[in-house]
Structure 1
Amino acid sequence: MKTLADMVLLGDPRLYEACAPVVEADLPHLAGWVADLHNVMSEVRARYHFGRGIAAPQLGIMKRLVYLNLDRPMVLINPELTDHSEAMFELWDDCMSFPNLLVRVLRHQAVTVRYLDEHWQPQVWPVQDALSELLQHECDHLDGVLCTMRAIDQQSFRWKP
């Protein structure tokens, strides 16, 4: 079982790599990966008091897999964002891979995420505002993009004690 000590931290080259799709041959590993993601997210919440989603590469699992825990746990396999709104908004973004750093970014107000659920069934989920930002952040991880790379300018960084 992976723990917070297994979190891939800022500067690790794996965070800048694009992930491979989850394929049906990976399905026997899925429950273990999801358990690891859930466990580490729980530890982050207990220690740093934030965390709504985690992407598999943050634990060194180089697959297109996102785990969310909002009002209930959700697994997004091979998520793709479509229908990006023209409307944008600014916010201070945080990340479990650098939990004491906030980064000012610009995100789409709304997107649609297409993904496979844990039963390998296709799903379509239109989201906006906070969920839109969260899914853009997590899907960026799958493409090797960090919010530090999306900073609005050089003054868009803040230390969070």
Structure 2
Amino acid sequence: MKHLADLLLLGDPRLYETCEPVLESDLPLVPAWVADLHNVMEEIRAKYQFGRGIAAPQLGILKRLIYLNVDRPQVIINPELITASDEMDELWDDCMSFPNLLVHVRRHRSLTLSYRDENWQPHTWTITNWHLSELVQHEYDHLNGVLCTMRAIDAQSFRWRPTPA
């Protein structure tokens, strides 16, 4: 079982790599990967009071796998961005790989994604909820070796997160 200490931190070269697709033959490994992602997310939530999603490469698993836990756990395998809205919005983004840093970024207001679930069933998901859209874009970027620090609006787009009470 992976723990918070296994989380790759800003500067680790593996965070900048493009991940390989999950193969159908990898499916027996997916439950253990998801358990590790869930466990680390829960530890981040307990320590830093944030965390809605995590991408496999953040634990050194260089596969195209995202784990979300917003209203319910959700496994997203081999996501492909089909469309993204022209309408953009801005936010102070956070990341488990640098939990004390916030980065001001622009993201698409809505998007459509195709992916497979943990049972290898195909899905198409149109996300119009801004908070889910920006989250999925953040995690999707991880699969392509892109961190939110690389999407900063300008040189003044960084600030420290207030310390939780």
Task: Give the shorter-chain TM-score range.
Answer: over 0.9
Alignment correspondent of 1:86: 86
Aligned ranges 1:45-124 → 2 under 5 Å: 45-124=45-124
- Matched to 1:102, the amino acid is L
Quote how far apart the aligned CAs of 1:85 are. 0.3
Quote how far apart the aligned CAs of 1:67 are. 0.2
Quote how far apart the aligned CAs of 1:81 are. 1.3
TM-score, length basis structure 1:
0.99
Quote how far apart the aligned CAs of 1:113 are. 1.2
What is the rounded CA distance, in whole Å, between the counterparts of 1:34 and 1:155 in structure 2? 36
Aligned ranges 1:4-83 → 2 under 5 Å: 4-83=4-83
What is the rounded CA distance, in whole Å, between the counterparts of 1:31 and 1:130 in structure 2? 26
Equivalenced residues, count: 161
What is the rounded CA distance, in whole Å, between the counterparts of 2:97 and 2:113 in structure 1? 23
Quote how far apart the aligned CAs of 1:72 are. 0.7
CA RMSD of aligned residues (A): 0.6
What is the rounded CA distance, in whole Å, between the counterparts of 1:45 and 1:134 in structure 2? 16
What is the rounded CA distance, in whole Å, between the counterparts of 1:123 and 1:52 in structure 2? 20
Aligned ranges 1:119-130 → 2 under 5 Å: 119-128=119-128, 129-130=130-131
- SS of corresponding position for 1:83: strand
Alignment correspondent of 1:131: 132
Quote how far apart the aligned CAs of 1:105 are. 0.2
What is the rounded CA distance, in whole Å, between the counterparts of 1:109 and 1:82 in structure 2? 14
What is the rounded CA distance, in whole Å, between the counterparts of 2:90 and 2:127 in structure 1? 17
Give unmatched runs, 5+ long, in structure 2. none
Quote how far apart the aligned CAs of 1:99 are. 0.2
- Matched to 1:115, the amino acid is Y
Alignment correspondent of 1:149: 150
What is the rounded CA distance, in whole Å, between the counterparts of 1:10 and 1:91 in structure 2? 20
- Matched to 1:67, the amino acid is Y
- SS of corresponding position for 2:11: coil
- Matched to 1:151, the amino acid is A
- SS of corresponding position for 2:89: strand
Quote how far apart the aligned CAs of 1:36 are. 0.2
TM-score, length basis structure 2:
0.96
